[in-house]
Amino acid sequence: MIAFTAIRYPTMAESRMNEPIKQAEFEAFYVQTARVLHGYLVRLSRDSAIADEILQEAYMRMISAPWIEDKGRRAYLYQTATNILRDRWRKQKRERENWEQNKPPEQFLPDFELPIDMASVLERLSAQDRAVLWLAHVEQLSHREIGGILRLKEKSVKVILFRAREKAKDLLQAAGWGLAHEE
Amino acid sequence: MKNEINLDSLLKEMVGHYQPQLPSASLIWWRAQIARKLREKERIERPLQVMRVTAAIACAVILATLSAHSWGQLQALVLDNKWLLLPLFLLTGSLVVALFVSPWAKSDRFPFRWTSTPG
C-alpha cells in the first residue's frame, strides 16, 4: 500500500525566517520609518542627541535580528527603541520619574520646528502618555500592538490612552486651541 | 468623536512638520555589519580564551603544588645562590603580565594602542 503525504512547501516568510534583512530592503524601510521614529524618540526622551543614538541602535539591532515580516518590523522597531530608552533610564534610576510621572522638561527644545501647541502639550504629559498617544494616532497601531511595545496589558492601554487623550484635550483647551465639542 | 479626530490631525500635522537631520541608511548598515563581524570574532575567540585561562590556572596550581611540596629545598637553593632571585623575580613578573595585562590589552578599554597607521 502506498501512502501519499502532502508536501508542504514553506511560505516566503518561513523560508526567510533565519535570514537577516537585505540591504536594499533595509534602506527602503529606513527611508519609510526613520523620520517618524526619530520624532517619537525625541518626544519621549526630550533630547535629540539621545534620540539619534537610540535610533541607530534600534536599527542596528533590527539588522542583526532574524527576518521579520514588514507588518511586524515596525512594531519590533518601536519596541526595541522604547526598551533601549527605558533601560537607559533604569540605569540612571530615573525610569519611574520619566516614564510614569509627569515631570516637566528641564529645557524646551529650541530647534524644534513644530507647531508649538501640540509640541508643548506633549511636553506636559508623562512619557507613557506621550508614547501611547504617538503609537495610537501617528502609527495607528492597535491596543494589542501598543501593549506589546510598551509591555502593558491591552486593557491598560485602553485606559491609559483614554486618560492621555483627555489630558491632551484639556491642555489644548487651556492653551486656547479651538477644539470642537459635539458631544 | 470630533475631539479625537482633531487630536489625530494635530499629531499628524506635528509629525508632518518634523524634518530631522538623520544619519544615512548606508551608514547604519555599515555600522551594523562591523558590529556583526566583531560579535563573530568574539564568538570564535571565546574557546581560545577559555583554553588560555584554563591553562594559566593549571600552570599556577601545578607551580603552587610543586613549590609547597619542595618548599624547604627551594628556600635553601635560593639562600645559597642569591643570584637566582633575579631570574625568579623576572619570571614571576612576566607571568603576572601574561596573565592579567594581555587580556586587558586586547579589550577596547585599554588606553594604549600600538597599531601603526599607513603612510
Report if residue A105 sits inside a domain. Answer: no
pLDDT at A29: 93
More confident residue, B73 or B40: B40
- For every one of its 183 residues, what pLDDT tens digit does chain A have, with 9 covering 90 and above? 555 566 666 565 555 566 778 889 999 999 999 999 999 999 898 888 999 999 999 999 999 888 788 778 999 999 999 999 999 988 887 666 667 666 655 554 544 455 556 778 888 899 999 999 999 999 999 999 999 999 999 999 999 999 999 998 888 887 776 654 433
- What pLDDT is attached to residue A164? 93
A23 shares its domain with A94? yes
Q: Name the phi and psi angles at A47, rounded to 5.
A: -150, 115
Range of the domain at A137: 114-177
**Domain match, A34 and A85 both:** yes
Examine the fold and report which residue of A98, A132, A162 is the final residue of a domain before the chain moves on. Answer: A98
Convert A170-179 to b/e letters by CB count within 10 Å (16 or more is b). Answer: ebbeeeeeee
Look at residue A31 and tell me if it is in a domain: yes
B18:A55 CB<8 A: no
- Whether A14 is in a domain gets the answer no
Final residue of a structural domain among A65, A98, A131? A98
Q: Which of B1, B5, B8, B10 to mutate to test the interface with A (most CBs of A within 10 A)?
A: B10
Interface touch B31/A60, C-beta < 8 Å: yes
On whether residue A109 sits in a domain, the answer given is: no
A89 and A131 together in one domain: no
Higher pLDDT, B43 or A5: B43
Nearest to B18 among A63, A114, A179 (CB): A114
Residue B21 φ then ψ, to 5°: -85, 110
What is the rounded distance in angstroms from the CA atom of residue A7 to the CA atom of residue A28?
35
Short-list A182, A22, A43, A33, CA closest to A122: A43
Question: Smallest CA–CA separation between B49 and chain A, in Å?
Answer: 25
To the nearest whole percent, how much of chain B has pLDDT over 90? 21
pLDDT the model gives residue B119:
37
Instruction: List the single range of B2-16, B28-42, B99-113 with lowest mean pLDDT.
Output: B99-113
> Which pLDDT band, with edges at 50, 70 and 90, does B74 fall under?
confident
Q: Is B43 on the interface with A (CB under 8 A)?
A: no
Helical H segments across chain A, by residue range: 12-15, 23-45, 48-64, 70-91, 95-99, 116-123, 127-133, 143-150, 154-174
Chain B contact present for A163, CB below 8 A: no
What cell was used for A176?
486656547
Among A98, A123, A152, where does a domain finish? A98
In terms of domains, do A141 and A171 share one? yes
Query: Does one domain contain both A163 and A123?
Result: yes
Check whether residue A71 and residue A137 sit in a common domain: no
Residues of B in contact with A48 (CB under 8 A): 20
Which domain CATH number covers A55? 1.10.1740
Cβ-based contacts of A64 with chain B (< 8 Å) = 32, 35-36, 39
CATH of the domain at A120: 1.10.10.10
